[in-house]
Amino acid sequence: MGKRTSKKSSSLLSRSSRTPKRTLIRSHPPHSPIRDRGDRVGDAASSFGCKKKGNCRMWMRFFKDGHSEVLQCHKNVILNCVCVLPRDLRILGPVFSRSSNILARDKAIIINLEFIKAIVTAEEVLILDPLCQEVLSFVDQLKRALCKSQVRIDDHNSHVDQEMHPSVGQAFAHCEIVECEQRGLPFEFQVLEMAMEVVCTFLDSNVADLERDAYPLLDELVNNVNRKNLELVRNLKGKVTHLFARVQKVKNEIEHLLDDDNDMAQFYLTRKHHLNQQNETMAPAGTSNSILPIVGSDIHQSESIIGNKYNSDVEDLEMLLEAFFVSLDGTRNKILWVREYIDDAEDYVNIQLDNHRNELIQLQVILSIAMFSIALATMLAGAFSMNIPCPLYDVPHLFAGFVCGISMASFLLGSIFLGYAKWKKLLGQ
């Protein structure tokens, strides 16, 4: 029996040794609480996602204190970490990759703007495919911003530790005031601001490149209409339409958020997080009845503070969204100007083609009149050339006079028709 047990244990060990391992790239020092939390997530990722490498996707995890790590895990691990629904991850999938969405959930914000696909919570942000060339700029800006914010918070905490500890409601109000003074915007708003800034800058640079290539090409088409230039303008119109649709999608999503204050209020994840912490602090398991009035007063005090700050926070988010809305509207106007310039160039080319077509029609009318006159003279000549007895054949020197006469008659008839056409302005001015 002992031998069988040892064989079974050795087989289990060999099976576990064959389990693929996940590689983590961390920017924080070892033996830190952030590392321990990342290791727990990594173990969950290895247990869920690494069994099926085809379903694993690369994520970069940024914590609120500035530390980061790179994960390659299954979507189930992400669902357990950020508490979102599977349909929220489908928005970040390949099916809806070209759509623009900014959705607020109970504990997270789903951002899908162009190449930036992220899940933002009150404490961290998860970025999908962080090694893409377009996403690297967003990752760098986010890393610099979080590091600067953490330095300011550490400096402030060193001064706060020397002061007295306030009551529960005052502590919550103090925490809110400190956060607004130190950061200006909550963590999730900072991430949203940087994401929209990167996207707007990227779209604006694409429009600038489009303008730089479009105007010389359209001028060349106006000066020289040929097949090559027409093909280049056709490709240019496709780029303009595609870029306009991308800008319009982002603009419509921001406009949709600006139209509903309730949706904007759901974006304040930090307030929800602090409110949950406050409720847990003010309702301990062994609370006595003697201190219930004090706790109740603190609850009402904190709720009044939250109610007073509700409108200001919505206004802050509204101002943030309006700034990028105006920026996208300006980018959209640039694309419309390029489109109008293309339409003007096409109209000018069509006018040139119509002019050439009119000239060809005029030439056809002149040739038709000349052919009619010559055909009349040819008919008379053909009638007299028939082998029919006629006394005129015996008249000397009649051939030369007859030829000259019908030639003059055909020329006179053609001149009459041309004069009539000019009188009716059928041949232009």
- The two tokens of residue 151 are 């330095």
| C-alpha distance from residue 126 to each of 53, 130, 131, 198 (Å) | 19, 9, 13, 16
- The two tokens of residue 321 are 């969204």
Q: What is the pLDDT along the chain (429 residues), one digit of tens a residue?
A: 444 444 443 443 333 344 444 443 344 443 333 344 444 444 444 444 444 445 688 888 888 877 888 888 887 888 888 878 888 888 887 766 678 889 888 888 999 998 899 999 888 899 988 888 888 889 988 888 777 665 555 554 555 454 444 444 444 444 444 444 444 678 888 899 999 999 999 999 999 999 999 999 999 999 988 999 999 999 999 999 999 999 999 999 999 999 888 888 888 888 877 777 677 676 554 444 443 343 444 444 444 444 445 455 578 888 889 999 999 999 999 999 999 999 999 999 999 999 899 889 888 988 998 898 888 888 887 877 777 777 777 777 777 787 888 888 888 988 898 888 888 887 765
Kind of pairing, strands 124-128 and 57-63? antiparallel
CB within 8 Å of 320: residues ≥ 6 apart: 185, 189, 192, 193
Q: Is 428 helix (H, G, I), strand (E, B) or coil?
A: coil
pTM: 0.68
The DSSP result for 202-213, as a single string, is HHHHHHHHHHHH
Assess contact for 121 and 61: CB atoms under 8 A: no
What residue spans define the domains of the chain? 19-132, 353-423
Assess contact for 111 and 119: CB atoms under 8 A: yes
- The two tokens of residue 420 are 């009539």
Position 152 scores a pLDDT of 54
Closest CA to 141 of 118, 112, 107, 122: 118
Positive or negative, the Cα torsion across 56, 62, 64, 66? positive
Cα–Cα distance for residue pair 135/290, rounded to 1 Å: 56
Name the architecture of domain 19-132: Beta Barrel (2.40)
Assess contact for 192 and 253: CB atoms under 8 A: no
